[in-house]
Each structure stands twice: as C-alpha cells, then as structure tokens.
A and B are shown apart, each in its own frame.
Chain A
C-alpha cells in the first residue's frame, strides 16, 4: 500500500475521521456520497407527508410545533447536501438524480398521511426509527457527515417527543381520537420496520460499509433494537402493535416479532408505493417552476457586481 492508503486504513482503524481532502478509495467516496445524498433527499421528501397537515392542525400550538418540525427537516436536508458537496458533488446534480429516480430516499415517505394522528405516529415511529439509525452515524468515519449527524440528532430529539406527546394527549382524549391513533399505528408499524432496510442476509453491501466505518450496525441489529425500545412505549400509550407474533423472548432478552413483507417493500422501492409519484412530482414542480426565480437572482447578482466594479 502507498502511504495515503496506509493513512486511510490507519484512520479508520483508530476510529478517527476522514476529512474532505484526505485520500479515500473510490468505492468509499461513492458509498459515502450515495448514503449522504439519499439521507438528504429523505429529509426533503419527508417534509411532504407531514407538511400535508400544517394548514389543518387542530390547535395553534400543534400548528406551530409541526411547522417548526417541517422547517427543521428542510434544514437537515441542507446540512446533508452541504456534507455531500464536500465530496465534490453538486447540489443541482443531486436534485436532478432525485427527480429522475436515479437516487432514492427513505421508503417510509411513500405512504400517505391520512389523519392528524399520522403526524404523531410519524414522530413516534418514523423519527424513532431514524434516531436508531442516526445516532450511530454520529460516529461515521466521514467527518462532515458525522458532524451533520450530531447537529441533526440534537434537533431530532424534540421531533420524537412532540409526536409521542401528541399521541399521549389523543389517547387520553375522545374515543374517536383513540381510534385515529390505533388506525395510524396499524398503517405505519410495518413500514417503520422496513426503514432499516432488507434483512442482513439480503444486504451484500453491509460488510464493506461496516469495514469502512460508514455503517456501525447491521440492518437486523437496528431493527431489533427499534422493536425492543418501541414496544414498551406502545404499551404506555395503550395502542396495540399490529403483529400477532410479537412476544417477549426471555431467553434472547429481546422481542420476537413477525415477518416483514419484503415483497411489499420491494414494490415500494421500485416506485410502486402509494405516494412515490406524487412525492417526486411535487419536488420536480417546485424545482422547475422556480427556475425563473433562481435565474433572476443570479442575473441581479451579476448586475450588482458589475455596477460595483464600474463604480470602483
């Protein structure tokens, strides 16, 4: 190995950070870039299902909380695009890849939000799953990604709490509210488990990603952790998890749970989920219909710069 390769391997081995100008194998750069970009796309697309309920929030306090949350998601996307750009990517190019389907985003956002309880359940389950995924990423070997994740995790902690607190309030409320929460849980439980990706025996990239320090735990490890954390929370809420096979396994010290429908997951990943087309279409329209605005700003900046030079 050359000394730059030695340096790279040694940095990884010591659990230290690779920085943008360090040498890195092409595969590492490509893997990290794809991971960061897809995470960024997820934050931006994720604004839509929850943003769907801002104007209809049933109290002004809930409206403010949800608006702040969706704003945070835009900010998280921006932090992550910023991290991706340190690897030489261009945000306009990443946006084009998202819109054309060449890069993906988290499958969970391809499901519709159909009631206000969905807002709470997304906070509880989806943000809960995201936190399980994201906290280990604060130790990602790639410096800018780890730093973006630390900032994001700090802000995401309130997202999960606000979702859970809404559900607590609703479960102590009217029968109609309780029914709404149970219905939302029934629809989001399995898609939340799918957020951790395919089972380990169907994830060929996991080994290399873990060796590179880009992934810290396997999909199944994280999925198990999520179930173990979340089931007691469901019990406290008084909702039933829609899994007949769910039970505590004393021997393993973990919950046993039923089989995920991986065919359904594959269909959603391929683009045939309930909301894939409309999520992309919204992003595409905003980007394309906004082109004249971006161009105007660029034109104005050039004119202003020219005037400054002329006056100098």
Chain B
C-alpha cells in the first residue's frame, strides 16, 4: 500500500479505503429506531400484550446486565479483557434495544409516540415496572463473580433464544436468531474463565467456588414459568455441570433467594441494588426530560 506523499496535511478520510461491501444489518440501521424498516405488525393469533411483556422481560435482562458489565470498563485485569467485555456489553445492549423497541411497538396500551419506544422504556419507567430477573442487577464483587454470573446468564439466555427462533412473532424470532451466535460466544468466554479460575491457583479456585456459592440463590428464579418456552432447566444445568467438572468446582446447594410476598424480579420486585442501577442509568435523561439526544 502506498501512502500519499504530499507535504500538506492529509484529509484523514482520503487515506481510508472506500471499500464497501455494505453488509446491511437485517434490521435497519438503528439510527433512531433499531427496528426501522421492519414491519412491526403483530401477526394474527399472537397475543400482543403477552408478546410485549415477554420482550420487556428479555430486554430488561439484557439492558440491566449490560449496565453491570459497562461498570467494569477500565477496571478489568488485562487490556485484552477490556475489548472482550465491551464486546459482550455491546451485544447485550443491542439485544436490549431491539427487544424494548419490539415491546413498545407490540404493546396495545403503549401511549408514547412511535420511534421513541426504547428510550421511553429504558429511561422513564419506575423501578417496579422493570421486569428483569434479579441475577441481572447484581454487582460483581470480583472477576470470579463476573465469570460465574456471565456463565449462568448466557447459558440460560442461549437456551431461551434457541427456542425463541421458532416463536410465532417473526420479529422476536429474528432477534433470537441474531442473538444465538452472540450468546454462544458469551457463554464460551465465561466458561473458559470459570475453568481457568477454578483450575488455576489455589486462590483463584477458592474465589471461583465462593463466587458460585453467592450466585446460586439467584438461579432458581431463571426457571420460573414466565416465558413461552419449554423448560430449559435440565439443559442449562447440564451445561453448567459440564463446566464445573472441568473447573474442579462443585455445584452449590444454596437455597433460592427469598421472594417478597411471593414476588420477585419478573414482577417488578427487585433487590436493593436495582434502585442505584436506575439512578445512574436514568439520571441524565431524566434531568433533561424534553431533550433529544
């Protein structure tokens, strides 16, 4: 490649290859609306309110989980992990945007203008309206918890998305299809780290086991019957057990985290951490409620 040899200051864009294989993203370009150009009509026979509720649950899981990963940026043990974790956070944020947009478009009771669904939902709902599982909102105390929580979350979410590729709503089916290879990568990344830490040094082994012990109470909630998919518990537990065996850690036996009068994350009843998450996430948007960004 020859570099232009002029003595002036190059316009940086002249140096850039104009090569354009323009791989258009199947679902529009995400300028303001991640589902731009997509037909969002809910098909006959699909319960629109239920669809909206399910998309909200899956969208909130991803949005809040991504937030916790974003908090790790500049704090990770090695620079290569910065690009890896940022990648995962970006994938989940992308899934959240599409799911929230789908929820807004499908919800027959939605009263906000078209094109602003994802942001209205992300920034202007109250805590009790968020439908994420409590696993998503937990702060990772150390890198072992980051790896363990991500393994559990992505193994579960991958199993859900694999089934949702066949769901009746074509938009949700397509979102799931796009997410499957992303989640497979996330699960693989997390599994490798659980194994390295579990079978690394004595210190890392202790931390890995302790991380799983503190996370385990949040697992049971994942298999509650909220989503229109067949039971994934067996499959997910088998995946986790396989990783644990290689890691030399034991599956914890801790009891599930108690509900509040039978209510938990999917019902909008969260842990105390959730308030702080939303205070941070929503602060600027709420400070300037009439602004466009």
Whether A60 contacts B97 by the Cβ 8 Å rule is yes
User: Does B94 belong to the interface (CB within 8 Å)?
Assistant: yes
8 A Cβ contacts from B84-138 to A: 86-87, 89-90, 93-94, 96-97, 100, 118-119, 122-123
Q: Find A153's partner among B12, B74, B78, B122 (CB 8 Å cutoff).
A: B12
Measured between beta carbons, the chain A residues less than 8 angstroms from B9 are 132, 135-136, 217, 225
User: Does B25 belong to the interface (CB within 8 Å)?
Assistant: no
Q: How far is the CA of A154 from the CA of B133 in the complex (A)?
A: 40
Chain A contact residues, majority secondary structure: helix
Q: How far is the CA of A81 from the CA of B158 in the complex (A)?
A: 35
8 A Cβ contacts from B188-225 to A: 195-197, 199-201, 203-204, 207
User: Does A116 belong to the interface (CB within 8 Å)?
Assistant: yes
Whether B291 contacts A48 by the Cβ 8 Å rule is no
**In the complex with contacts A54-B70, A55-B71, A174-B199 CB distance below 8 A:** no
**In the complex with contacts A74-B82, A135-B12, A173-B292, A56-B283 CB distance below 8 A:** yes
Binds B, one of A197-205, A231-239, A246-254, A292-300: A292-300
Whether B79 contacts A59 by the Cβ 8 Å rule is no
Measured between beta carbons, the chain B residues less than 8 angstroms from A291 are 77
Whether A296 contacts B204 by the Cβ 8 Å rule is yes
Whether B293 contacts A157 by the Cβ 8 Å rule is no
Whether B5 contacts A67 by the Cβ 8 Å rule is no
B205 to chain A, nearest CB (A): 8
Whether A292 contacts B86 by the Cβ 8 Å rule is no
Whether A174 contacts B196 by the Cβ 8 Å rule is no
Binds B, one of A26-34, A267-275, A281-289: A281-289
**Interface size, chain B (Cβ < 8 Å):** 60
Most B CB contacts (10 A, CB to CB) among A58, A74, A225 go to A58
Residue of B nearest to A132 (CB): B9
Interchain residue pairs with CB less than 8 A apart (17): A56-B281, A56-B283, A60-B96, A60-B100, A60-B118, A64-B93, A67-B90, A70-B73, A70-B86, A135-B12, A135-B15, A150-B1, A174-B290, A282-B74, A290-B76, A292-B201, A300-B197
Q: Find B285's partner among A59, A156, A293 (CB 8 Å cutoff).
A: A59
A303 to chain B, nearest CB (A): 6
**In the complex with contacts A295-B200, A296-B200, A58-B293 CB distance below 8 A:** yes
Whether A138 contacts B15 by the Cβ 8 Å rule is yes
User: Does B67 belong to the interface (CB within 8 Å)?
Assistant: yes
Q: Find A131's partner among B5, B12, B204, B284 (CB 8 Å cutoff).
A: B12
Q: How far is the CA of A296 from the CA of B198 in the complex (A)?
A: 9
Most B CB contacts (10 A, CB to CB) among A77, A135, A172 go to A135
Whether A290 contacts B118 by the Cβ 8 Å rule is no
Interface residues of A (CB under 8 A from B): 15, 44, 47-48, 51, 54-64, 67-68, 70-71, 74-75, 77-78, 81, 116, 131-132, 134-136, 138-139, 146, 150, 153-154, 156-157, 166, 169-170, 172-174, 176-177, 217, 225, 282-283, 285-287, 289-297, 299-300, 303
Q: Find A154's partner among B15, B86, B285 (CB 8 Å cutoff).
A: B15
The 5 A-B residue pairs with the shortest CB-CB distance, nearest first, are: A290-B77, A296-B200, A296-B204, A71-B86, A293-B77
Q: How far is the CA of A287 from the CA of B122 in the complex (A)?
A: 33
Whether B12 contacts A293 by the Cβ 8 Å rule is no
Measured between beta carbons, the chain A residues less than 8 angstroms from B260 are none
Q: Find B197's partner among A56, A156, A173, A293 (CB 8 Å cutoff).
A: A293
Whether B70 contacts A44 by the Cβ 8 Å rule is no
Measured between beta carbons, the chain A residues less than 8 angstroms from B285 are 58-59
Q: How far is the CA of A282 from the CA of B30 in the complex (A)?
A: 33
Whether A157 contacts B5 by the Cβ 8 Å rule is no
Residue of A nearest to B200 (CB): A296
User: Does B280 belong to the interface (CB within 8 Å)?
Assistant: yes
Residue of B nearest to A166 (CB): B293
Residue of A nearest to B85 (CB): A71
Most B CB contacts (10 A, CB to CB) among A47, A51, A296 go to A296
Q: How far is the CA of A297 from the CA of B86 in the complex (A)?
A: 20
Whether A303 contacts B77 by the Cβ 8 Å rule is no
B95 to chain A, nearest CB (A): 11
Q: How far is the CA of A48 from the CA of B74 in the complex (A)?
A: 7
Whether B90 contacts A71 by the Cβ 8 Å rule is yes
Most B CB contacts (10 A, CB to CB) among A62, A174, A285, A293 go to A293
Whether A44 contacts B79 by the Cβ 8 Å rule is yes
Most A CB contacts (10 A, CB to CB) among B12, B32, B118 go to B12
Whether B79 contacts A60 by the Cβ 8 Å rule is no
Q: How far is the CA of A142 from the CA of B290 in the complex (A)?
A: 51
